[in-house]
Chains A and B, each alone.
Chain A
Amino acid sequence: KAGVTQTPRYLIKTRGQQVTLSCSPISGHRSVSWYQQTPGQGLQFLFEYFSETQRNKGNFPGRFSGRQFSNSRSEMNVSTLELGDSALYLCASKPTPTGELFFGEGSRLTVL
Chain B
Amino acid sequence: AQSVTQLDSHVSVSEGTPVLLRCNYSSSYSPSLFWYVQHPNKGLQLLLKYTSAATLVKGINGFEAEFKKSETSFHLTKPSAHMSDAAEYFCVVSPSGGSYIPTFGRGTSLIVHP
Contacts and interface: CB of A to CB of B under 8 A. Distances in A.
Partners in one complex: yes
Nearest to A45: B101
Given A42-B104, A90-B43, A106-B43, A98 B99 contact: no
B49 interface: yes
A85 interface: no
Contacts of B102: 45, 101
B46 A102 contact: yes
Contacts, number: 53
Give the bracket for the number of chain A residues in contact with chain B.
20 to 34
A11 interface: no
Q: Chain A interface mostly helix, strand, loop or mixed?
A: strand
B51 A104 contact: no
| Chain B interface residue number, banded | 20 to 34
Nearest to A57: B101
Nearest to A3: B43
Contacts of B32: 98
Given A42-B106, A43-B90, A108-B41, A100 B101 contact: no
B25 to A, nearest CB: 15
Interface of B: 32, 34, 36, 41-46, 49, 51, 90, 92, 94, 96, 99-107
